[in-house]
Chains A and B, each alone.
Chain A
Amino acid sequence: MSGKASSDPSQVGLSGSGALSHVYIQHPPLRCNVPGTQGLYYDDGNKLLLAPSSDQVLSWKVGPSTQSDPPNSDFIGEGPVLSIRYSLDGKLIGIQRSNQEIQFINRESRETFSRRCRPDSESILGFFWTDCPSCDVLLIKTSGIDLLSYEPDLNTLRLVEAKRFSVSWYVYTHESRMVLLASGMQCTIFSGYQFSSGGIIRLPKFEMAMAKAEANHKPVLAAEDIHIVIIYGRVYCLQFDRVSMQLNLYRFYRDAVVQQGALPIYSSRIAVSVIDNVLLVHQVDAKVVIIYDVFLDCLSPISAPLPLLLRGSSVSGRQALQVEDNLTSAYGAMIYGDSWTFLVPDLICDIDNGLLWRICLDLEAIASSSSDVPSVLEFLQRRRSDPSKIKMLCLSIMRAIMLERRPISIITRAIDVLVTSYAHLVKMENAFQGGDRSSKKSQNSGSQSANTSNIVSAESLDETMNRGKSIIKGAESETQQSTIRNLVNVNDNHAKKSTSKASLDSVSDSDGDANLDAMRSNSGESLDKYLSTDLLSSDAMQDVKKNMKHDYLKQSPIESEGLGCSSSRSDSCISNQQEPQIISVAISLDEMYHFVFALVEEELGGDPAYLIAVIVECLRCSTKEKLRVHPNLYMMMIQMLARTNRYSELALFVTNKILEPSKEVALQLLEQGRQNFQIRKLGMDMLRQLSLHHDFVTVLLQDGYYLEALRYARKHKVITVQPSLFLEAAVAANNSQHLAAVLRFFSDFTPSFKLTSDYNRYHTMLIEMS
């Protein structure tokens, strides 16, 4: 399977989009194959990859990019290591030495203490650190779980609570803060707890179903067949049923566990990853990945199963081909090898070779593999990983389908997706402003515009909620970092207002999830229901805040804002136009105009009917969401309608206010009406209706209706139009009576007009004429 990718080098050479893969791992991996180390351990609470050697442990921080910083090392003393985890504040190291003993080492003082269990009746299954307010460490034993709290003064652990029941094995992820404890003959009866910063939530006991192979043989569920994942902020558990060859999907609510269907499996070994809320099911035997977007409880895969690709760093052209070839020969054989361990949520650890790979989605490839454009756009709009890139992708898809002249119905749905997504963002922004009015002023001073900062905050909150963990990616991070800093502002303000920490969390949570729920709203489920019952990975928020505060202290927001702009702009692909503001995946209507309509206008100009139809659909979608389109869109429409002589439609558009009345629209109509008096009149009417008296009088004068203009000017007290213009028009009409009347008018109604040179001049002219 790995050879397949290299068999067609031309495809590999294209940066992913042409390659037969939707998911790839990026070369180079994080290398941690230091001689003398024994095994690799992943501490998901701190995102550390740990390699213990004889008396110390090397640790690599797993960041968004896999650059090889030299590892840190800590002394851990000698002895076997079954598992190892740093405490969340980084002060302690916990090492499971045997199934009877866990040793804790204070990193500063190097003091150690141990926790043992009763050797005769129980054994230790594992432990993890928690940020739950009542305890620090959780110890899982065959006889139950111990909630332990660290006493720094005594340098020991105090038992807070012990929950007693038999446990066969357990599954825990820091991302979900959830532990599932299996018991029963088949290990299918589960107790679950979520140890979140908000407290401990106990899930109802539930049993997973398993298909029977034979009448008397009951299969036993193993720990590696259970995966906890977080998708769109919702906690799921996936259970691999080896008999029926399917992956059962359970969703956790606060008070219930509901099975939500099953995914087919085509391999005896599987692994599960979640990248940007996309569920990846690795069919390890078949060496392919199937990707799902579990959003509207739709369990059909996004695309056909395709292999995992190994991709070189972003060098282009011939060089890239060679690199790819070399890579494939070097690493190709180990793709989906036996030594691969899949880490939550999106990492692959190659234990034998000491390599850590990050799995990435090739969104372009996914987008281009489906012909159902609206669905693709929906999919893309739900992604949060690389907003600028996704935005560009969406915009280029829009342009492409318009240039291909896809049926209007398709275009409509596509526009609808984008506009709905944007409308939702605006709603979020308003919600934020509503709850955060007091902090607005301070934000204004720090950021270029209040709007952007708020969108940004909402966005990053949403993102972090969705991802469950705050991974601040270096390459694309500047914007995000600044956004998160804004978020800190917001949250700090929240904190000032609200005395209790818990309420702060709930505010953040609801904001974050409101996003999803609003997007989900067409499925008909009520927002409240989700907010109240859905079990969220709320603790992710704590991670976020921790990181944010860290950054916040380092840099002032103003600096970071500047940095954010420059770095995010550098990777945008359109260079000659005004850059879109890279803040969110959602595409504003202004951007829709600048990057779609303005760019396709020339090519589609030959077929105005089509483009007008598209614009009408765009107007329809935006009206539905109560958004305003870019005024230039109206200009474009007027030009096209006028150019093709579709006067009656133009008149309809104006009278029905489909073209929203504005001075610009009116002037455009006047401009287009140079050849067509009727169109010009539409513009004049609009000026009048907008009470733009000065302009209206000027236009009347231009058309030679000087008496009408004069009457109108008197009625509406327009004094800004020069008398000489009226007088000149009367002279041009060669009508001495009218000239006299105009002259008299100004003499009577404009004080000191008789003293002006205009009066003398036209008075002389009048005498000459008569």
Chain B
Amino acid sequence: MGLPAMAANEDFPYSVQLSVVGLSEGLITFTRIFSPDAACEVIEEERHSHVFYQAEPDIWMVMIVEKNKDNESDWRCDALIDVLKEAHSLFTMFNGSLQALLDKQPSGELARSRLYTFINDYLSDFYVGKKIQVPSFRDCLKERRTVQMLTVSREVAIEVQSLATVIGTSSLGSIACKSLILFQDLLVATTLSPGDTANMFTYAVLRLTPHALSSNTSSWTYLRRGVSGSSITASSGLLNSRSSPEEYHHGSHDSSMGEQSNRYHMPRPLQRDNWSKGKDGFLVCDIQLNVGGLVYLAPVVWLQQSEEHMYLCIYQHRNLTIIVLIPVCSQTDGEQGIALVKKQLLENASEKIVHVEEKLSRGWGGENAYHVSGYRYLLVDTDKSISRTSPPGKVMTLAKDSLFTLNKLREEVDLEKTRANREKPDQEKNLEICIRAKNNSWIIAKITQGRELYMVMEKANETLLYASDAVEKFSDRYCDGAFSLD
């Protein structure tokens, strides 16, 4: 066990960092005495929260978040852990596991330098002004690490699937390519496992979709919209951000960074403005990646489920983003192979792509397509890693009290879930909680068969019967009755 990646930090002196590492290590060791399988998740200090996440066996990620006094610093521990999980998943997707990097270079220099750039690039999306903004209670109607799907009719779904299979089978004879198809910032089809889909989707929404490409600043719109005006400083125990995010945007490196880049290959897939749309419709990655002496022309990702390296090849037509993943092992002649795949993709599928884009555009209900009036909701399908939420603009209309109470409720539910999972790992927990908040809104959480529904209803009637009726109505109309089993 150890904490290998301790980045150089300007804000905090080395001694402070060292003491934080020592403290974290001590806490983990200590709590393991009582709970050997699951050591501590969070330590609350008066002015800080320490959030722990065991990313890999013997590898921990710790986030220390500073609390401030203006009451905005109410967050949900699981939401913070999800940030760590997401960072780790994305890191693993582009770099392989940390353990593998450490095995390759036991001194940890390689892993450290990669982590440093990667996490900094990742955190650049969390900046609000000059400070990092971690998900707060205002984001309680969001679920990180899930996929947002576009709902389509059967006919369109078949068209999309037909496109997906054309992409999957036509490219290289027997070699099956994987693909994700996104429309706007929503997923339409995938051939990856749910976990890989979630990672790839997250990355696409961050950096690849037309929306992400067009906005120079953060494309992660919900963060911006949800928490405008609040100011929370957060710092990570593993690494720390520079004083201002603009430096990353302009890609300025200090001398030590430059040296590191030369010594070790430094892929920075999360760096902004890496991707741009080429004339042929394919996205071009500005930086050339060079791993182990091999020059890769397209970025390579590592899929957890199939344990394969895949080339990343992205085609965009209007609002349709198609991510094609080509097995690296199939491509002995990297450049030519990918060019061939691209050519075949255009030959076989371009007509279909245009067709599908048209159909999806026609059926696209706009930003507020999934708004249900009277309800503010979050729907999570944990099996499929899918979530759906009220549009951010609508969530913003909620009173602070409502969100605050929901955040508390979710924290309770998180605890309850963990407890149930410990006791009966093979049985799924079903529960339903309705709370009347101070501002008389109904705050509801319902978990049934691996599906979670969180709901805020302001301006609702005061009886519990009314609230549960409302849930049932919602469930019948929008969830195929998944939450109205009894």
A→B interface (CB under 8 Å): 407-409, 412, 607, 609-610, 612-613, 616-617, 619-620, 623-624, 646-649, 651-653, 655-658, 660, 678, 681, 684-685, 688-689, 704-705, 708, 711-712, 714-715
Contacts and interface: CB of A to CB of B under 8 A. Distances in A.
A620 B162 contact: yes
Contact of B348 (A409, A612, A655): A409
6 contacts: A623-B158, A648-B191, A649-B190, A681-B383, A688-B485, A711-B485
A68 to B, nearest CB: 56
B427 interface: yes
Interface stretch (B110-118, B167-175, B238-246, B367-375): B167-175
Contacts of A649: 190-191
B486 A712 contact: yes
B329 interface: no
B485 to A, nearest CB: 5
Interface in B152-190: 152, 154-155, 157-159, 161-162, 165-166, 168-170, 174, 176, 189-190
Contacts of A705: 427
B431 to A, nearest CB: 12
Contacts of B17: none
B278 to A, nearest CB: 25
Contact of B169 (A609, A655, A704): A609
Given A609-B176, A619-B158, A704-B427, A678 B383 contact: yes
Interface stretch (B21-29, B68-76, B192-200, B288-296): B192-200
B353 to A, nearest CB: 14
A195 B132 CA distance: 92
For A616, A624, A715, the residue with the greatest tally of chain B CB atoms inside 10 Å of its CB is A616
Given A409-B348, A623-B154, A658-B158, A613 B168 contact: yes
B169 A685 contact: no
A41 B485 CA distance: 84
Interface string B140-159: 00000000010010110111
Given A658-B161, A681-B383, A715-B486, A408 B193 contact: no
Which 3 interchain pairs have the tightest Cβ spacing?
A: A711-B486, A656-B157, A613-B165
Contacts of A712: 485-486
A658 B480 contact: no
A657 B157 contact: yes
B133 to A, nearest CB: 32
Nearest to B190: A648
B192 A648 contact: yes
B158 A620 contact: yes
Given A658-B158, A660-B154, 6 more contacts: A407-B170, A648-B384, A649-B191, A651-B194, A656-B154, A681-B383
A613 B152 contact: no
Contact of B162 (A617, A655, A689): A617
Nearest to B384: A651
A653 B450 contact: no
B481 interface: yes
A289 B161 CA distance: 46
Interface in B468-486: 480-482, 484-486
Contacts of B165: 408, 609, 612-613, 616-617
Contacts of A647: 193-194
B450 A681 contact: yes
A578 B182 CA distance: 44
B331 interface: no
Contacts of B481: 688-689
B486 to A, nearest CB: 3
B162 A616 contact: yes
B260 interface: no
Contacts of B155: 623-624
Contacts of A624: 155
B9 interface: no
A94 B158 CA distance: 66
| Chain B interface residue number, banded | 35 or more
B449 interface: yes
B430 interface: yes
B190 A652 contact: yes
A609 B197 CA distance: 18
Contacts of B449: 681, 684
Given A620-B158, A689-B481, A708-B430, A613 B166 contact: yes
Given A647-B194, A714-B486, A613 B169 contact: yes
Nearest to A608: B176
Nearest to B195: A648
Nearest to A646: B191
A609 B171 CA distance: 13
Contacts of A688: 480-482, 485
B384 A409 contact: no
Contacts of A678: 383-384
Contact of A658 (B154, B176, B191): B154
Contacts of B450: 681
A408 B159 contact: no
Contacts of A711: 485-486
A90 to B, nearest CB: 58
B194 A658 contact: no
A653 B189 CA distance: 9
A711 B157 CA distance: 35
Contacts of A689: 480-481
Contacts of A409: 166, 170, 348
A409 B350 CA distance: 12
A681 B166 CA distance: 29
Contacts of B152: 656
Nearest to B187: A652
Contacts of B162: 412, 613, 616-617, 620
Contacts of A612: 165
A365 to B, nearest CB: 31
Nearest to B169: A613
Interface in B354-404: 383-384
B80 to A, nearest CB: 27
Contacts of A620: 158-159, 162
A208 to B, nearest CB: 43
Contacts of B157: 652, 656-658
Nearest to A704: B427
Contacts of B485: 688, 708, 711-712, 715
A613 to B, nearest CB: 4
Contacts of B197: 648
Nearest to B306: A645
Contacts of B192: 648
A609 B193 contact: no
Contacts of B174: 607
B51 to A, nearest CB: 29
A685 B192 CA distance: 22
B350 to A, nearest CB: 12
B86 to A, nearest CB: 19
A685 B485 CA distance: 11
A619 B152 CA distance: 16
Interface string B190-226: 1111100100000000000000000000000000000
Contacts of B430: 708
A441 to B, nearest CB: 35
Contact of B194 (A619, A648, A660, A715): A648
A623 B359 CA distance: 15
Contacts of A616: 158, 161-162, 165
A570 B48 CA distance: 86
Nearest to A409: B348
B481 to A, nearest CB: 6
Contacts of B161: 616, 652-653, 656, 658
A651 B154 CA distance: 14
A40 to B, nearest CB: 58
A684 B124 CA distance: 43
Nearest to A660: B154
A681 B428 CA distance: 12
Nearest to A614: B165
Nearest to A678: B383
